[in-house]
């Protein structure tokens, strides 16, 4: 399969997330659905639709079949999770305490309602897109270092609505770590698990502070 097809499929997957989420949000808003439920429904259906497309695409093309190794998955996932969360906590401290950038977990998001999305759907879909299709597709054109950089930049930019601009640099670093793990270990499993851990710590901190 041509590499550009993988990149296009990855971009299309995220377009599906945005399009379905936006459509559900607009329809739900007109029906008077509460903001917290509406955001959960919109995100959940958006990611679910993208996951359905990804499963069909991957089953048909076998594009990422070599990236599902479970070798040393516990050790690798633990190492990657600790490293990524450390970067986030240190980066967050620098941004909020030293640079005085204000950030609070969005009040309109219910952590309990959003948990299935943040702890399951989003990590799987985003890793398949950014560290799977996009990263693998770009490797053919710009080699591993360039593919890691571009896919991580893309990953950071899609979070621009949820985070202050300066926090996107932290997301870029995290994306680079996740991408490096896939390049090094040739498996997506640790990056998916680390992504779950990252979102879990964000939910936990939102409840503690």
Query: Using one digit for the tens of pLDDT, what is the confidence trace for 19-44?
Result: 999 999 999 999 999 999 999 999 99
100/156: higher pLDDT: 156
Interacting residues of 56 by C-beta distance below 8 A, sequence separation 6+: none
Predicted confidence (pLDDT) at residue 196 exceeds the cutoff of 90: yes
pLDDT mean across residues, the chain: 94
208/173: higher pLDDT: 173
What's the farthest any 2 CA atoms get from each other in the chain? 50
> Dihedral of CA 132/59/76/163: which sign?
positive
Q: pLDDT confidence of 147, banded at 50, 70, 90? A: very high
Predicted confidence (pLDDT) at residue 101 exceeds the cutoff of 90: no
pLDDT at 19: 97
How confident is the model over 38-58, as pLDDT tens digits? 999 999 999 999 999 999 999
Supply 192's token pair.
Answer: 């998916």
pLDDT at 164: 86
Average pLDDT value for residue range 78-96: 95
Interacting residues of 20 by C-beta distance below 8 A, sequence separation 6+: 42, 45, 46, 49, 50
pTM of the model: 0.95
pLDDT at 205: 86
Print the SS3 string covering the chain.
CCHHHHHHHHHHHHHHHHHHHHHHHHHHHHCCCCHHHHHHHHHHHHHHHHHHHHHHHHHHHCCCHHHCCCCCHHHHHHHHHHHHHHHHHHHHHHHHHHCCCCCCCCCCCCHHHHHHHHHHHHHHHHHHHHHHHHHHHHHHHHHHHHHHHHHHHHHHHCCCCCCCCCHHHHHHHHHHHHHHHHHHHCCCHHHHHHHHHHHHHHHHHHHHC
Encode 164-179: b = buried (16+ Cβ within 10 Å), e = exposed: eeebbebbbbbbbbbb
């Amino acid at each position: 399969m041509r590499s550009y097809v993988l990149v296009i499929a990855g971009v299309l997957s995220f377009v599906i997330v945005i399009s379905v989420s936006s459509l559900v949000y607009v329809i739900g808003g007109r029906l008077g659905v509460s903001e917290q439920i509406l955001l959960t429904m919109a995100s959940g259906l958006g990611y679910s639709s993208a996951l359905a497309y990804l499963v069909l695409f991957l089953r048909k093309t076998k594009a990422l079949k070599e990236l599902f190794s479970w070798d040393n998955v516990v050790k690798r996932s633990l190492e990657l999770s600790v490293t990524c969360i450390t970067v986030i906590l240190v980066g967050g401290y620098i941004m909020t305490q030293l640079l005085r950038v204000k950030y609070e977990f969005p009040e309109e998001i219910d952590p309990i309602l959003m948990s299935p999305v943040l702890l399951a759907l989003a990590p799987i879909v985003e890793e398949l897109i950014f560290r799977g299709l996009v990263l693998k597709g770009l490797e053919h054109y710009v080699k591993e270092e360039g593919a890691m950089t571009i896919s991580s930049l893309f990953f950071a930019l899609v979070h621009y609505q949820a985070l202050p601009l300066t926090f996107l640099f932290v997301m870029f670093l995290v994306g680079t770590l996740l991408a490096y793990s896939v390049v090094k270990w040739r498996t997506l499993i640790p990056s998916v698990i680390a992504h779950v851990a990252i979102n879990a710590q964000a939910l936990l901190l939102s409840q503690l502070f």
